[in-house]
Amino acid sequence: MRLAVREALLAFRRAPMLSALSVTTIAFSLFAFGLFGLVALNIRNALQTVEDRVEIRAFIADGTGSEATAAALGDIGAFPEAASVRLVSQTQALDRARRELGEFSDVFEEGILPASIELRLKPGFRDPETVKAVAKRIEVYDFIDDIRFGEEWVEKLHRLRNIATLAGLALGLTFAVVAIIIIGSTIRMAVMARSREIAVMRLVGATNGFVRAPFLIEGFLKGTLGGLLALVLAWIALTVINRFVVQATFFDPWMGAVGVLAGACIGLAGSALSVGRHLKRV
């Protein structure tokens, strides 16, 4: 094992340019993943806040009897998706509007705002489809004048997040494939450079695993370096965004670790895929 690590490190010195190239492509692969991942992450965070506030507000027609309203309140509260439901009377609506609008509070006359039923949904039922479905079910009461929920907003954010995820995936995978190809050719050179040694190893009875180990370790190390580099790049990108565009959050340590691990996997895959093929020719 010690020998294998030494050999792997030696390989960096034998082909520094190619090694640097493989590390950088892995880094770019993961950076692409990471950048779009960050976008997706921040959109998801934004969605969370928006979704937390998602309310269905059903406005009640003037002159609706209080029993009808109370019955509807009970029915709606019993929906499996419902977290809480409450009645906002005309007075309360007015108070709230005045509070929110401050100095313009005078413009509201008593009775101008309708009463409404406000429904908050349980987490997990806040996606656009469910919200829409629930709204439909409330609409059937004939005393409901109008129903509102943040449909466009929620849908737009969802779509944006999906696009960011897909773009990151496509770009990241492309770079990953390029990285694997470059690592493959690096391995080929390393195998050629060590062909005499490999031949002697085999002759004296070194196992196949032993012959392969340095190349696999080399790939693993390059992948890990690439992963770390990608993390640094993503962090720099985020700092720039924070400064000039919008406040955004970074990956938590777990996601960072997963990213570095993904780099290690790309490196390992690149060498594992090619080492057998090239060793056969020695």
**Minimum distance, C-beta of residue 4 to another protein, in the bound complex (Å):** 10
Contact window for another protein (CB under 8 A) among 54-62, 194-202, 244-252, 253-261: 194-202
* Spatial CB neighbours of 34, under 8 Å, sequence gap ≥ 6: 168, 230, 231, 233, 234, 251, 259
Q: Confirm if 72 and 117 have CB atoms less than 8 A apart.
A: yes
Which residues between 205 and 234 bind another protein (CB under 8 A)? 205-208, 210
Q: Residue 177 or 201: which CB sits closer to another protein?
A: 201
Residue 200 near another protein by CB under 8 A: yes
Per rule CB under 8 A, is residue 99 in the interface with another protein? Answer: no
Instruction: List the structure tokens of 37.
Output: 């991942």
**Cβ-based nearer residue to another protein, 176 or 213:** 213
The one among 61, 101, 166, 199 contacting another protein by CB under 8 A:
199
Sign of CA dihedral 74, 79, 84, 85: negative
> From the list 3, 20, 133, 173, which residue makes contact with another protein (rule: CB under 8 A)?
3
Where does the chain show beta strands of DSSP type E?
A: 55-60, 82-88, 116-121, 144-148
Long-range contacts of 129-133 (CB under 8 A, 24+ apart): 130/81, 131/54, 131/56
* N-to-C CA span, the chain: 22
Of the candidate spans 26-34, 79-87, 132-140, 204-212, the one that interacts with another protein by CB under 8 A turns out to be: 204-212
Quick one: 65 or 205, whose CB is closer to another protein?
205
Selected binder of another protein within 52, 62, 151, 197 (CB under 8 A): 197
Q: Assess 203 for contact with another protein (CB under 8 A).
A: yes
Partners of residue 116 on adjacent β-strands? 59, 88
Q: How far is CA 10 from CA 3, 227, 245, in A?
A: 11, 21, 44
Q: For residue 201, state whether it binds another protein (rule: CB under 8 A).
A: yes
User: Given the rule CB under 8 A, which residues bind another protein?
Assistant: 3, 196-197, 199-208, 210
